[in-house]
Structure 1
């Protein structure tokens, strides 16, 4: 491959400045991996990863000498991080790692040449380098050819690469998703044969790779690959479980294909970049169906309460993958609420029901709107148009009531301090019960006047065996 390609790649000025620093000290430095791949593809990249002939102590000394802020969390693996000229960079010594075949922990062996360092990288499209400041292009494993062919292939045998780090199997699916590339046949076969090796990887690393996949240009490509190779069985078995056999009368949809369609529908509703939580909610929204499948009249297939069962299943799986608590709370609530809308079109919803829908969704309402709309995958155009019109009507109704009542701040008409003062109560369970009672009234009837709220509070106190101070009653109107 011609060295001229290196001169055609846009190399950031900071990379050349860092290269001059290392060259003056007698060391090689190369921009490697993702930044080179993305530059060839004319994609933006914030990563600045380098490989060098300098050992970590030498790299650290050079960077410190020139006033960079450095960190050494990756020092055991030969990596020194720094803020250099206002840019975050990572510089790693040439490596020739060997692994124990049981854990992901490598026995770090420093290499002495660039080619061997590139050989140990995950895929050929990430095994290209450009020297800085000289801009000499190195591509010993034809990564640029694989970019042209739009294929994901390993520099050496896939079995050796995945044996070194099984997470690379998920990374293959992630790059397929991000770049819309195919995976080479031998690579796919190795992923299938070695899927069980993913058990060597920590939940946190699997989660991070899964999130990156879901943020890709087309996560469905990667998701299909995970299911087809058996990798999904290792960390998200609820997904392949959706491939339920359709009964002979085709009484229910193919839930797996429906789910992937919902993911793509959700992507179309995104407003500013990937919304990973919305995409994951779409992916998991029906995982309760296999556990709730039953048969109703005339053999019709049912999935009663699958949204609640699915929410519990999602909570358990997301906890196992070490998702943040706030993300788990939102995703499980979205799954639990995604079916509630379907009673709206029958004209059964009162303003009270609308208030409860908004209050239960809370800050998740914008994503819930998108999830519910994404869930409509029927091919019946008349039915699809009706559902869309129904949800348009619901959103308009929410806006009207919100404008009148400030639904985003639905609270009882009296707060806890006022309840304690009016009933002469100390803090405790009675105060909480009274607060909840007044909130229910607020949801059911809308805002109450101060006099109405106090009257309802005193009535509740008497009904619950409390002796409130003298006050108005609902009947008196005083």
Structure 2
């Protein structure tokens, strides 16, 4: 076991306070996990810090809180034997060292008090099992029984115990292995990668919320395709997002082929990751083509088609979010809208950009027109430099046109210049379909450029439309 001093890692006064308090209680205490890992990786210090006590973590937390300024509240999680203190922007979590055993069909462990070694054995990866002693006489000593430092140096994700045991005990660790590999640019050790594939079905006992939490972290990494490729290789992805894996493969009929929409999608997600940290726009990039698998058809005259795949894909978004217990609120509706409209700017960019088409794009996309353009620009994955330049230039023209049209016509967040109440008053109407017809006609006239988006022009148009409908103006 390595015994090196790393006092510089634990200079914050909180560490000394915890160490001295533990000694007063006759316990040993250690900082363990992500804090130690990130210190050696020279990453930003995490605000959530894990401490392990050889004894009662809850007792240690309560005693520590009583020593701190302001005597912060201790939140106790009795079922897990843990306690948490929020202090100076940090979340300090305390647990007693323990050993765990699991039943095959459950995520709930049988927990017993244990040694530091027992606690390190039950950690997910060697790089998260390193601990620094906080007790005064051994302050800063590194305890690294599985050579986590060596694995950090080699950039390897490896489990402390045989990987099958680690993953079977807590199947979410399979997702965490992939997430760490993606975030840290590490490789998963080959036995560990094989074990994920062998134990993939154990993931079914994990709650959807915990799985989605890891998915989010993978999706929000600088290059999400790394994680999605690993999930695909280990067959986890087909369990979580079968709509995505259904896109894989290229079919050829009568010499005509289509592109592999799965690998294309991962390229799009990597592209959008360079330009936005909006998680829901990244979800839209991930799901923008899911409607292509169920709509794929071959026609002798025109080849492969994916008719109405955006409409079908938008409907699939709802089912997917519901199955994964993701929010069915405005975030889901935003993803749906992006998927539904994902081809609109592309069609515009390929043709002559008319003011009318741009007005309709702005009207339908509303406040999300910029995000839609960002998604469509990320959708450019051609390797042909000439084509790539052409598409990018075309999208730039569309963006310029959007700015020009919006400045002139104010279509974004469109409100009709003439209200329904005014139409009723003008023609002495009660609520009726005629009002809807006139309002729709005014909107269409503005979008088509027949009249400007101004009150006077819309009012005159309303009078003309009413005349054609044989409505009498109230005198």
TM-score of the superposition, structure 1-length normalised?
Answer: 0.89
Q: Determine the structure 1 residue equivalent to 2:168.
A: 163
Partner secondary structure for residue 83 of structure 2: strand
Residues 1:232 and 2:233 are matched in the alignment: no
1:49, CA displacement in angstroms?
1.5
Q: Determine the structure 2 residue equivalent to 1:138.
A: 143
Distance 1:215 1:60 in 2: 33
Q: Work out which of the residue numbers 206, 210, 214 in structure 2 matches 1:209.
A: 214
Q: Determine the structure 1 residue equivalent to 2:52.
A: 51
Distance 2:60 2:429 in 1: 67
Q: Determine the structure 2 residue equivalent to 1:265.
A: 271
Give the stretch that moved more between structures: 299-308 or 141-150.
299-308
Distance 1:449 1:63 in 2: 67
TM-aligned CA distance change 1:115 to 1:435, over 3 Å: farther
1:455, CA displacement in angstroms?
3.7
TM-aligned CA distance change 1:13 to 1:61, over 3 Å: closer
Distance 1:316 1:71 in 2: 40
Distance 1:74 1:423 in 2: 67
Distance 1:11 1:321 in 2: 42
Q: Work out which of the residue numbers 241, 248, 261 in structure 1 matches 2:246.
A: 241
Q: Work out which of the residue numbers 103, 114, 117 in structure 1 matches 2:116.
A: 114
Partner secondary structure for residue 122 of structure 1: coil
Paired residues of 2:176 and 2:214 also in contact (CA < 8 A)? yes
Paired residues of 1:413 and 1:439 also in contact (CA < 8 A)? no
Number of equivalent positions = 466
Unaligned segments of structure 1, at least 5 residues: 472-478
Unaligned segments of structure 2, at least 5 residues: none
Partner secondary structure for residue 72 of structure 1: strand
Paired residues of 2:82 and 2:96 also in contact (CA < 8 A)? yes
Residues 1:453 and 2:458 are matched in the alignment: yes
Q: Determine the structure 2 residue equivalent to 1:474.
A: none
Q: Work out which of the residue numbers 112, 127, 130 in structure 2 matches 1:128.
A: 130
1:366, CA displacement in angstroms?
2.3
Distance 1:403 1:147 in 2: 54
Q: Determine the structure 1 residue equivalent to 2:335.
A: 331
Partner secondary structure for residue 121 of structure 1: coil
Residues 1:291 and 2:312 are matched in the alignment: no
Residues 1:361 and 2:362 are matched in the alignment: no
What do you get for the CA RMSD once the two structures are aligned?
2.5
Distance 1:8 1:256 in 2: 47
Residues 1:383 and 2:384 are matched in the alignment: no
1:363-395 CA-partner distances (Å, limit 9, x unpaired): 322221111011111122222222111111000
Partner secondary structure for residue 73 of structure 2: strand
1:41, CA displacement in angstroms?
0.2
Distance 1:142 1:96 in 2: 20
Distance 1:136 1:219 in 2: 36
1:151, CA displacement in angstroms?
1.0
Distance 1:439 1:59 in 2: 67
Give the stretch that moved more between structures: 390-399 or 337-346.
337-346
TM-aligned CA distance change 1:432 to 1:140, over 3 Å: farther
1:239, CA displacement in angstroms?
1.9
Residues 1:91 and 2:97 are matched in the alignment: no
Paired residues of 1:99 and 1:106 also in contact (CA < 8 A)? yes
1:6-38 CA-partner distances (Å, limit 9, x unpaired): 335355333333333333333322111111111
TM-aligned CA distance change 1:448 to 1:408, over 3 Å: closer
Paired residues of 1:70 and 1:80 also in contact (CA < 8 A)? no
1:60, CA displacement in angstroms?
4.7
1:5, CA displacement in angstroms?
4.8
Paired residues of 1:130 and 1:137 also in contact (CA < 8 A)? yes
